[in-house]
Chain A
Amino acid sequence: MNKLIELKNLTKNFDDQQVLRGINLDIYENEFLTLLGPSGCGKTTTLRIIAGFEEPSDGQVLFNGIEISKLPPYKREVNTVFQKYALFPHLNVADNIGFGLNLKKVDKSVIAQKVERMLKMVGLEGFEKRDVTLLSGGQQQRVAIARALVNEPKVLLLDEPLGALDAKIRKQMQVELKKIQQEVGITFIYVTHDQEEALSMSDTVVVMNNGEIQQIGSPTDIYNEPENRFVAGFIGESNIIEGVMIKDYLVEFDGFQFECVDKGFEDMEEIEVVLRPEDLDIVDPEQAKITGIVRNITFKGVHYEILVETDLRTYMIHTTDYAEAGREVGLKFGPEDIHVMCKMGAY
């Protein structure tokens, strides 16, 4: 795959506030890349810099190897789907979609044709003359996507496009967005704070916090091998425990030593361990090293969420087995369930 966009050491200050602190990121052709993070982490700013709505305070944006950070938005081969769609209320569906082509003085009949094809792709055939303000959220969303894609950009930027939709339509749109991306075969850069959205659609997930990239990787990497406490905590639920890496493949926490699959740390390095709740099993106390008392059990639909209090902390366990409150139990997990990560300072 070819590199399409390179962000080099991007920083951005608003007044005295540093919103981006040195972002380095390569984005490839045909990639579905998601910028994931809590609000205020700098993901939208990064997107707006790529779109050309903001200039970086420092650093470079390369597009096919050419520096574009000073280029105005209308000269870039990228288009944006805005958070609240930003459909022009005074134009109908067809005029909204044809807006960009109209500016380029494309022939009217060609525009009509392209608009029709786009509407078909997003599943809104026959909506040409509708008033955009009267469409449902999901429909407005589709028009916004069509309006951006009709210009045949090399990259489509999506800023929390599903945020305003209700849960059911959101699920449906996730599937459709992925389908559209594969159909048109261009790069999508997607911004969201919803980890589930990020994991289910993306080829690459970029986890951001405090204006810095925390981890770049495939959804499975991010989930299974979080590089630090922030990523582990932000993606899915986890038990995060401080410990010590005795040597390769051997880690100690909560007063016990466990075999693990991680290596490459220094001997006796202080680390943190992630244990995902669904990787933990409830067993009889004598079968496990770590034991504790069941404090709370909640039915979550598919599984139970059980809180087990040990001498040192409370573990969260997701399991289909029932364990009544007050019972003493053991916690069992295999070497592959232990994820060791570098210790972070401030969290």
Chain B
Amino acid sequence: MRRRKSGSIWMILPLYFFTLVFVAGPLLYMVALSFAEPGAGYGVNWSFSLDNYKRILEPVYLSTFVQSFKLAVTSTLAICLIGYPFGYFMAKMPPSRKKKAMLLLMLPFWVNSLIRLYGWIIILQNKGMLNFILQKLGLINEPLKILYSYPAIVVGMVYVLLPFMILSVYSSAEKLDWSLVEAARDLGATKLQAFVTVSLKLTLPGLLSGIILTFIPSMGLFFIADILGGNKIVLVGSLIQEQMTRGNNWPFAAALAVVLMILTTAMIFFYRKLTNAKELEGLG
């Protein structure tokens, strides 16, 4: 091992350099910034104050956090309900069909998410496909105003983030030894009992990591709320963006980001405690 060291240092240096300067550096800068005060223009007055954090507690901003949180919980719940069975069924398919399903799953995942959201706009708009079909079927008289509403945002969130849940459930269900399920059946479990006592328990890490992978981004995907929600609902992400661009209050934006970051880290920490896993399932 020692012999190999000398030759390997140069390989790791670019990563070290890049990671420290452009990942760790900015994040630390963000923390520092969150304690500063806004100056003129994009300027910053360096000082140590907790004002930014106190400001988050003001009802206007706190409600933004609560709203984001609610939306994230709703979206994540919907994603779990749709994505878990999907990933699980997919893992149970014969290998040849599994490969095809994987390809089908990855394809829209790679298509620009904005494009896909635009497709939903076309479908959901007042004179769109959905209303057209519903009216033709006689289920409604007036077109439903789905677009630019809360449900539309949830649809968008679910749509963009679902693949992450599916992949992480799939990768954990893939590893599930099916003979364990057979063993449970052999020992007297019905299909449902075998699922609850064995399959669900053993794929729980995948489900949990899927929850993290969808919950965390859903707090920050401001453009979905923007496009499908029509600016009616302000999320933490939108707030940060606004403070960075129009609001010109970077320290406050930094404080918002720090809080979001703490929430994120806490979730990952609990995930690790809960599952003893080092990495999130289904990443990469």
Whether the complex brings A and B within 8 Å at their CB atoms is answered yes
Contact of A74 among B179, B190, B201 (CB under 8 A): B190
Q: Is the CB of A103 within 8 A of B187?
A: yes
Q: Is the CB of B198 within 8 A of A84?
A: no
Contacts of B179 in A (CB 8 A): 82-84, 86
Q: Is the CB of A73 within 8 A of B185?
A: yes
Q: Is the CB of B185 within 8 A of A90?
A: no
**Chain B residue at minimal CB-CB distance from A157:** B186
Contacts of B198 in A (CB 8 A): 88
What's the Cα separation between A78 and B193 when bound, in Å? Answer: 18
Residue A151 at the chain B interface, CB threshold 8 Å: yes
Chain A 80-102 near chain B by CB (<8 Å), digits 1 or 0: 10111011111000000001100
Residue A11 at the chain B interface, CB threshold 8 Å: no
What's the nearest-Cβ distance from chain A to residue B124, in Å? 43
**Chain A residue at minimal CB-CB distance from B189:** A103
What's the Cα separation between A73 and B188 when bound, in Å? Answer: 7
Q: Given A103-B193, A151-B188, A86 and B182 touching (CB < 8 A)?
A: yes
Contacts of A73 in B (CB 8 A): 182, 185-186
Chain B 241-257 near chain A by CB (<8 Å), digits 1 or 0: 00000000000000000
Q: Is the CB of A79 within 8 A of B177?
A: no
Residue B184 at the chain A interface, CB threshold 8 Å: yes
What's the Cα separation between A55 and B97 when bound, in Å? Answer: 22
**Chain A residue at minimal CB-CB distance from B184:** A99
Residue B180 at the chain A interface, CB threshold 8 Å: yes
Contacts of A80 in B (CB 8 A): 182-183, 186
What's the nearest-Cβ distance from chain B to residue A71, in Å? 12
What's the Cα separation between A87 and B182 when bound, in Å? Answer: 11
**Chain A residue at minimal CB-CB distance from B191:** A72
Q: Is the CB of B187 within 8 A of A82?
A: no
Residue B202 at the chain A interface, CB threshold 8 Å: yes
Q: Is the CB of B193 within 8 A of A82?
A: no
Q: Which of B136-194 touch A at CB < 8 Å?
A: 177, 179-180, 182-191, 193
What's the Cα separation between A230 and B182 when bound, in Å? Answer: 33
What's the nearest-Cβ distance from chain A to residue B114, in Å? 42
Residue A147 at the chain B interface, CB threshold 8 Å: yes
Q: Is the CB of A86 within 8 A of B190?
A: no
Q: Is the CB of A86 within 8 A of B202?
A: no
Q: Is the CB of A90 within 8 A of B202?
A: yes
Q: Is the CB of A151 within 8 A of B180?
A: no
Residue A53 at the chain B interface, CB threshold 8 Å: yes
What's the nearest-Cβ distance from chain A to residue B162, in Å? 27
What's the Cα separation between A86 and B186 when bound, in Å? Answer: 11
Q: Is the CB of A88 within 8 A of B183?
A: yes
Residue A51 at the chain B interface, CB threshold 8 Å: yes
Q: Which of A92-123 touch B at CB < 8 Å?
A: 99-100, 103-104
**Chain A residue at minimal CB-CB distance from B187:** A100
Q: Is the CB of B180 within 8 A of A88?
A: yes
Q: Is the CB of B180 within 8 A of A86?
A: yes
**Chain A residue at minimal CB-CB distance from B177:** A86
Q: Is the CB of A53 within 8 A of B188?
A: no
What's the Cα separation between A147 and B189 when bound, in Å? Answer: 14
Q: Given A90-B201, A103-B193, A147 and B182 touching (CB < 8 A)?
A: no
Q: Is the CB of A74 within 8 A of B188?
A: yes
Q: Is the CB of B182 within 8 A of A82?
A: yes
Q: Is the CB of A151 within 8 A of B187?
A: yes
What's the Cα separation between A86 and B177 when bound, in Å? Answer: 8
Give 14 A-B pairs besides A72-B185, A73-B182 with Cβ atoms closer than 8 angstroms: A51-B182, A53-B186, A74-B187, A74-B189, A74-B190, A80-B186, A82-B182, A86-B179, A88-B198, A89-B202, A90-B202, A103-B197, A147-B187, A148-B187
- Residues of chain A having any CB pair with chain B under 8 Å: 51-53, 72-74, 78-80, 82-84, 86-90, 99-100, 103-104, 147-148, 151
A-B contacts, 7 listed (Cβ < 8 Å): A52-B186, A74-B187, A79-B187, A86-B183, A88-B198, A100-B187, A151-B187
